[in-house]
Structure 1
Amino acid sequence: MAGGEAALGQHMETVTGNGQGAPAELDPRRWGTLSILCLSLLMVVVGNTALNVAIPTLVRDIKATDTQLQWIVDAYSLVFAGLLLTAGALGDRFGRKGALTIGLCIFGTGSFLAGISDTPNQLIVCRAIMGMGGAFVMPATLSILTNVFPVHERARAIAIWAGVAGAGGAIGPITSGFLLAHFHWGSVFFINLPLIAIALVGGKLLVPTSRDPNRLPLDPVGSLLTIVGLASLLYGIIEAPIKGWSDAHTIASFALAVVVLGEFAIWEWRNPHPMLDLNFFKRKRFTGGATAITLVFFGMFGMFFLITQYLQFVKGWTPLGAGVRLLPFAVVMMFTAPTSARIAERVGTKRTVALGLAIAAVGLFVASRLQVNSAYGLLVVAFAVMALGMAMTMPSSTASILSSLPMGKQGVGSAVNDTTRELGGALGVAVLGSIFATRYTSALGSLSHLPKAAQEAARSSVGGAIEVGHRIGGAAGTEFVNTAKHAFVHGQSMAFLLAAGVALAASFLIWRIMPMHLSYDYEAIQEALDGDEELAEELRELGAFEGAEGADEAVDNGHDGRGRGERRGVGAGSVDR
């Protein structure tokens, strides 16, 4: 219904605004708070992508091997993804402002030490420290946001947050390219230090403290299981394209992840105070939002993984030039993401997310048409369409996840949102990278006329093939370089077509499983209604309980409808000003 979510938001603000049945007091600092949260978020997202363009410099300056380069990049993601759920739960329990502050300090320490590192192994450790800090920062930014903004403004604030998160992936290479062109490679890390100082001071002045009012016991066993399970899963995903999907190390990593995460599910199901209540996954809005984010980041990360190589190796641009040419994606993302909240208010969350995924599929299809001699304009179109799809998908999916949970569990909900991003992105790079590598190697044709070392170099990457061609020299070398570039484009095209198919399938899936409009924490509603059957019926008609199993029964019968006999996270959370 047109304006359905806006009307629902106004009703919900009245019913559950402060957890006591009265409208929440508007914090006049909330937009300043959002700017500090977005600055903190941007550093974490950029930290995950900025180093990619610095790889050639690291090879030259600190003599990093291929294996060390891989871990310099991946150590951040591995620790970051493994700690997200635990960090989000700790923020809920002890305070999200404290989690943000601690995370920024850890991130800053890692950045400083990384900038003064003089060996690859030192840099790997420092990147892991940065990932640890990022794991505390990212869920804290989103959970603080949901506590600071009232319901009728929350979707817009989340859209701005999502726009910054999406644009950060493109801003990272641009920033790094500029710094590497003018300063020592350590500047890629030192640039974080003044920004962290601003975020810490701004956080002290503008960010309120919030936490789960119920202060439930910690779940150390669940935390340990998630760290080991998620780290094992991500390790397997990272290693699979390099060592092969059938390699013993890859299989062992996936097997360990299955066993440990299975044990985590059993433990959480039996635990009266779980870190992550698995009943959340029964809520279609929660599961639908997580699915959409996973699959759209599958396409986005896979696209950037290949496009950055296309720009440098096939088109011949410098790291800075390649980074600048990613700018259209960031610009479209940042300007269109805030408008997605208004679209969702008019047509509903389900339609917005499903349409966003379909548009992303079109953008990936356009990218699959890129050829060796394609004009840059075609890539701009692909970036613009893909960014528009991302801008429609991300904010509404994130709002869908968070609106389905109690306010006291926003830290864990934010961590789930962030974990799905990381896993989807890692899967995109692994799966699409494997498809690309297979097609690229096949299109190269027979290399039997080359020495064995040259064959391995050419098959390993298009950069290696171009180097082999330059060593051959003459017309034969030029022809080999052209063959390698066309082979790259062929592999890239096949990978992007698969990504487009996944995004389109995700669009249909979301259309089937996601409720039309935002749902809200019915436990808080049930407590606030206090027997007001007329208002309860009005909220039902607006869709407040849509997609939340047992919600109507919870309001009618006075229990949570989940078969546990207890209520968790009742209320709208607490904000100490």
Structure 2
Amino acid sequence: MPRNPDSAAAPSASSAGHGRMEKLLVLAAVCLSLLALPFNFTGPAVAMPAIARSLGGDPIALNWITNAFMLCFGSSLMIAGALADGYGRKRLFLIGQAVFLLASLALTVVHDLLVLDLLRALQGGAGAGAFSAGLAALAQEFDGQARTRAFSLIGTTFGIGLAFGPLLSGLLVETVGWQAIFLGTAVLSAIAFGFGWRFMRESRDPGAAGLDWPGAASFTTALSLLTYAVLLAPEEGWGSAWVVGLLAGTVALAALFIRIETRAARPMLDLTLFRFPRFVGVQLLAAAPAYSFVVLLILLPLRFVGIEGWGGVGAGWMMMALCGPMLVVPMLAALLTRWFSAGVLCGAGLLVTAAGLVLLSQVPPGMAAAAMVPPLLVIGLGISLPWGLMDALAVSVVPKERAGMAAGIFSTTRVAGEGIALAVVGAILAGFVRTGLATVSGPVDPATLTLAAQRLAMGDLAQAAATLPQAGPALLVQAYGDAFHGLLFVLAAITVVSAVVVFGFLSRTVPVAEPELVPAAE
């Protein structure tokens, strides 16, 4: 593999001659496809209380509405990136969109929680295919600063979905029903499919030699086992035989994957890339927003609806304060790369985000909604800086023809990190709540205390009060507020450490679109 990606930066034959308008329509197809992902991520979080009333289920089962999507999305991204390079970006994009569309339509008529979770898993796998193929297709269409601007629109697209998704979801849940959320994602998928079918040109890596099936199988299985172990641990305990066995399987399969990739002629993951600091830095950057921003997309709606009692629409309006900056800041970040390195901008954004998390920790439940708006805006402003630059960085640190692989690696790191972060942060919050409840509830059965803590961490104040009636709603809210306060300080500390790491790996002044791959030894 060449060290300088510019040596392989010539446009592929399939994209040669693509006019400006056609390129913009391809960008529109990818943006419409990606718009369905944040809407599909935040919407079920707002609708979860309504889904629980409709289909039933305990807190663990309801968590899988989000976890099933995240697990399959994150586990499939690496394979999707390799398939996009080897078998065609347009082909995989259209297949992913079609399956996502069908799964979304099926979710509108489901009447069983288990079936809903399975369809969410199918959505995740299909979304991974469309996501990786779409980013790889854009990398073939745009170069230089045009690529930076195009990928900054990806961040803006996510911002639109994240900003308006909770509000629109709340309106749909309260006026039509939670099924309408999935109908909305189906409409977006259908439009994206039509644009992609008409305007996207086929492209692939001319050096691809087919999918590395042994590597793909071992990697996907290892990642699935790891994610499932983290998701299961809060329910079973880290010392349970199931969790220990899953973690042991993860280690064994990871070792097997490394062995396979070091011997493969055309590996799914080129392990030599990890010699380059910028490539390593991009992967570390991918996981940073999980603890500073993504977990809030789930935890805050649960708090607003279940603890604050604002309703779905009220929660949606409040989430706009958090996600609104993404409507403009990613484009601003792309412009700022003319004067500052992407690493400096990303690290500075993470520090601003950490400050916002500390400010948010000072707003306990029950305060006026206006008190929460400033810290949410600070968090949204800070995280929008790296959010608009990450995807362009991901595909710029490898040769252009391997853009699908780069998108797959980066997206796998990001989404797998988000899935693990959701499970870990949820467990931390439930643990903090349990500790607080233990001090106010008096002698109580440990299993009952744990169940009450889980329900309260999920924002189900009514069920937590029914499980632990001796505590009373006021003490339950106080315990939740203290736990949330402590959790935000933990998230702020993780974010500061992430910022320091990003400064160390990515702060060199290298243009986003034309990086220099410098081995770590140098």
Q: Same fold (TM over 0.5)?
A: yes
CA root-mean-square deviation: 2.8
Query: What amino acid does structure 2 have at the position aligned with 1:238?
Result: L
Distance 1:301 1:369 in 2: 20
Shift of 1:37: 0.8
Seen in structure 2, the aligned counterparts of structure 1 residues 183 and 14 have a Cα distance that, compared at 3 Å, is: same
- Give the 5 Å matches for 1:476-515: 480-515=472-507
* Alignment of structure 1 residues 46-445 onto 2, 5 Å: 46-444=39-437, 445=439
Give the Cα–Cα distance (whole angstroms) in 2 for the partners of residues 229 and 280 of structure 1. 20
Task: Identify if the C-alpha distance between structure 1 residues 466 and 349 changes in structure 2 by more than 3 Å, giving closer, same or farther.
Answer: same
* Alpha-carbon distance in 1 for matches of 2:140, 2:402: 11
Deviations 1:321-352 (A, max 9, x none): 21221012222112111110111221112211
Q: 1:547 aligns with which of 502, 518, 521?
A: 518
Q: How many residues align?
A: 514
Structure having the higher Rg: 1
What is the DSSP-based 3-state SS (H/G/I as helix, E as strand, rest coil) of the residue aligned with 1:211?
coil
- C-alpha change, 1:373 and 1:213, in structure 2 (3 Å) is same
Q: In the aligned structure 1, how far is the partner of 2:420 from the partner of 2:227? A: 8
Aligned-pair identity in percent equals: 24
Q: CA deviation at 1:56?
A: 2.4
In structure 2, the CA distance between the partners of 1:467 and 1:549, relative to structure 1 (3 Å rule), is closer
Conserved in 2, the CA contact under 8 Å of 1:179 and 1:187? yes
Measure how far apart 1:435 and its partner are: 2.5
Task: Give 1:291's aligned amino acid.
Answer: L
Counterpart amino acid of 1:212? D
For residues 406 and 240 of structure 2, the distance between their equivalents in structure 1, rounded to whole angstroms, comes to 34
Tell me the CA shift for residue 298 of structure 1.
2.3
- Distance in 2 (CA, whole Å) between partners of 1:326 and 1:515 is 31
The AA in structure 1 aligned to 2:195 is: G
- The 1-side partners of 2:238 and 2:167 are apart by 33
Higher relative contact order (CA 8 A, sep 6+): 2
Q: Residue 547 of structure 1 aligns to which amino acid in structure 2?
A: V
The code of the aligned residue for 1:284 comes to P
Q: Distance in 1 between matches of 2:331 and 2:21?
A: 20
Contact kept? 1:466, 1:484, Cα under 8 Å: no
Question: Deviation of residue 515 (structure 1)?
Answer: 4.9
8 Å Cα contact 1:99-1:140 kept in structure 2: yes
Structure 1 portions without partners, runs of 5+: 1-11, 522-542, 552-577
Whole-angstrom CA distance in 2 between matches of 1:113 and 1:275: 33
Give the secondary structure class of the aligned counterpart of 2:388.
helix
2:120 & 2:77 partners in 1: Cα distance?
16
Distance 1:315 1:126, change over 3 A: same
Deviation per CA, 1:127-157, whole angstroms, max 9, x where unpaired?
Answer: 1221121110111121111111121211111
**CA shift for structure 1 position 425:** 1.5
Which of 460, 463, 473 is matched with 2:454 structurally? Answer: 460
Shift of 1:14: 11
CA contact (8 A) 1:403 1:518 kept: no
For 1:242 and 1:166, the matched residues in 2 are separated by 33
Q: Is contact 1:519–1:547 with CA below 8 Å preserved after alignment?
A: no
In 2, Cα distance between equivalents of 1:550 and 1:18:
32
- Is contact 2:351-2:499 (8 Å) kept? yes
**Partner residue of 1:564?**
none
Indicate how the Cα distance of structure 1 residues 457 and 401 shifts in structure 2: closer, same or farther if over 3 A, else same: closer
Q: Distance in 1 between matches of 2:93 and 2:356?
A: 35
Contact 1:26 1:150 in 2 (8 A): no
Spell out structure 1 runs of 4+ moving beyond 6 A: 12-15, 449-454, 470-473
Output the amino acid matched with 1:209.
Answer: E
* TM-score, normalisation: structure 1: 0.82
Moved more, 409-418 or 306-315: 306-315
Is contact 1:17-1:150 (8 Å) kept? no
Higher mean displacement: 83-92 or 177-186 = 177-186
> How many Å apart are 1:226 and its aligned residue?
1.6
Could you say which residue in structure 2 is the equivalent of 1:555?
A: none
Change (3 A) 1:25 1:515: farther
- Name the stretch that deviates more: 24-33 or 345-354: 24-33
TM-score by length of 2: 0.91
Shift of 1:449: 6.2
Equivalent position to 2:31, from 32, 38, 51? 38
Partner of 1:516: 508
Aligned AA (1:122): V
Residue 372 of structure 2 aligns with an amino acid whose one-letter code is L
Q: Given residue 375 of structure 2, which amino acid in structure 1 is its aligned partner?
A: A
Q: CA contact under 8 A between 2:93 and 2:130: conserved in structure 1?
A: yes
**Bigger mean CA deviation after superposition, 188-197 or 84-93:** 188-197
